[in-house]
Structure 1
């Protein structure tokens, strides 16, 4: 048994993760049970989209309607709980509150959307006769936000460990007359797979819609293509340090890129950061304190002379930080570091 008074990272995680898993199971059970119990009273296909007039203008097969929300929720909750199980940030109040709010909002959105869709189609002989959607749209928007707010409050309960101070920055000795260069990358296999699956699905659906095999299939092509582009951007990050600048680029094409002159960098160090800590994957935060999060773990963190910080998840970050600090020291030899 776990002592409920245990406020250590391990003890709190042991209590927190079962609660998050219970919410995930509850939402999944509702998403599975409701369509199955009411299957005999629902048309096939069902109305799943309503136009500006409030009347149904799009449909989906019963099998797809029953399966899609469950698969989406399993993916969202599984990734979220998996990240939380590995991360050390559950003992930090801010990232924990963000995590709980996101999980509560996503579950609430799926349940309310399913509930109103089922209610509109219930006992209707054909999807074109489904009830209209007017005030229900506001509930679908507001209810998940309210659940997210409750999740935020729930996440703020518990310990709030103080962040560790930045470690002493590593420094290396530079040989006179040589031009040092450091290049490193980090990759995210899940993002590469997301890119391949999304783009392949977009091509298949576009071909099927063009040939007439799928009606209204073009509506899914653009979101899938955009998902593929986002996945490609998140698939890798590359960092290059030379005596003049620090360059950060993302994606297989190494674009977009950001170049920072070395005279704008005050110092560099290595720090462990995780998606739950910074708010997810991708470019997280605001200019002045941001993280390019490709995968959790070791980050190269640079502090600008203006006071801002940029963290980049990259391999062999210690060598990059050491070279940056050595180059800065060589530019300003009289400054004590």
Structure 2
């Protein structure tokens, strides 16, 4: 019932994060070095925006070709590496592939945008004379997506952690012994779609910021909201301990909801599927709701108020057994 530290998984995660950090440094070095190498052949200011016809129509100091991509890269890479801190994501093929694809796409895309902007300004005496940009922007996006898909496929090599075999035996709650059950479930397809929406949002934002697209900021904002909502419901994690039950959403396990033991009557396991509850995500109303990430065994918790919450999560048998044992010890079970 208690979790044991898996040394091999910890070593793999450490190597994974080191490789991610190396990729971050490499891309950052390229984003800084390339503008420096060509600085004497660039006008100052440089063209930073190209209109619908492909001609330059806005300028900014040449340093923006370094600062903007570098800051965006730091934010995007930090987000991806933040996901990489979760052991369950790194040691599962689906989670690992998403993180690597995000890092690959972000780095290649920003390098491509910077390269296209520098090439358009290269050798020009004035920013107004910068070369037009049309198909180059589409090519950058296509190459970044292709690299992300290839990197995600390559990242599937390695461990694919499986949940432990179900064991619904009543846990040993001897005095002074702390027992914790933690489990989760993810929807790989929703993770991929959310990642695609986030990548599209970043693409629109960067292209607009660099002046390579006339699309409004609203498009990037809407896609970002869709991506965040998708991430929030792509993964659910449940933790049961003497403090009660904690239900967390998303790869970063935030936001989270806590339910103390004195609000829980009992728990059991039921087979439920999206077709039965009306689809994926948070279904139903408070008091009779289901958090549906994948069909199959669900941990069902009944509150002392009479309401119920069902959560599609792995290893639900042991979670229900521990929760019932803790509730019984706490003295809150209904007669």
How high is the TM-score relative to the length of structure 1?
Answer: 0.53
Question: Are the structure 2 counterparts of residues 304 and 58 from structure 1 closer, same or farther at C-alpha, using a change threshold of 3 Å?
Answer: same
Q: What runs of 5+ residues in structure 1 fail to find an aligned partner?
A: 1-5, 169-215, 238-268, 277-292, 313-319, 330-336
**Equivalent residues in 2 for 1:269-308 (5 A)?**
274-275=250-251, 294-295=254-255, 306-307=275-276, 308=279
The SS at the match of 1:62 is: coil
Q: How far apart are 1:152 and its partner, in Å?
A: 0.7
- Listed as ranges, the matches of 1:25-40 within 5 Å are 25-40=25-40
Question: 1:250-296: per-residue Cα shift (whole Å, max 9, x none)?
Answer: xxxxxxxxxxxxxxxxxxx86666427xxxxxxxxxxxxxxxx7448
Sort the Cα spacing of 1:86 and 1:51 in 2 relative to 1 into closer, same or farther, 3 A: same
Task: Report the Cα offset of residue 141 of structure 1.
Answer: 1.7
Change (3 A) 1:157 1:7: farther
Q: Secondary structure at the match of 1:48?
A: strand
1:323 maps onto 2:303 in alignment: yes
Counterpart of 2:281? 310
Q: Is the 8 A contact 1:270 1:321 kept in 2?
A: no
Q: 2: CA distance between counterparts of 1:22 and 1:30?
A: 12
Residue 137 of structure 1: aligned partner: 137
For 2:174, the equivalent position in structure 1 comes to none
Q: Which residue of 2 aligns with 1:9?
A: 9
TM-score, reference length from structure 2: 0.54
- State the match for 1:66 in structure 2: 66
Per the alignment, in what secondary structure is the counterpart of residue 104 of structure 2? helix
Aligned partners of 1:87 and 1:274 also within 8 Å: no
Q: CA deviation at 1:78?
A: 1.6
Structure 1 residues 297, 107: closer, same or farther in 2, change over 3 A? farther
Residue 79 of structure 2 is matched in structure 1 by: 79
Map of 2:119 onto structure 1: 119
- Cα pair distance change 1:130/1:95, threshold 3 Å: same
In 1, the alpha carbon distance for the partners of 2:133 and 2:216 equals: 25
| Residues 283-329 of structure 1: CA deviation (Å, up to 9, x unaligned) | xxxxxxxxxx7448989xx96784455367xxxxxxx9442895359
Matched-pair contact (CA < 8 Å) for 2:274–2:280: no
Encode CA deviations 1:157-194: one digit per residue, 9 max, x unaligned: 111112467998xxxxxxxxxxxxxxxxxxxxxxxxxx
Distance 2:258 2:95 in 1: 18
Structure 2 counterparts to residues 1-337 of structure 1, below 5 A: 8-163=8-163, 222=217, 226=221, 230=225, 274-275=250-251, 294-295=254-255, 306-307=275-276, 308=279, 310=281, 321-323=301-303, 326-328=306-308
Q: Aligned partners of 1:36 and 1:30: how far apart in 2?
A: 10
**In 2, Cα distance between equivalents of 1:147 and 1:60:** 30
Count of aligned residue pairs for this structure pair: 220
2:247–2:256 contact (8 Å) kept in structure 1: no
Write the distance in 1 (CA, Å) between the matches of 2:107 and 2:121.
21
Matched residue of 1:8: which SS? helix
CA distance in 1, matches of 2:274, 2:115: 53
Q: 1:36 to 1:327 in 2, by over 3 A?
A: same
SS at match of 2:48: strand
Quick one: distance in 2 between partners of 1:150 and 1:122?
A: 31
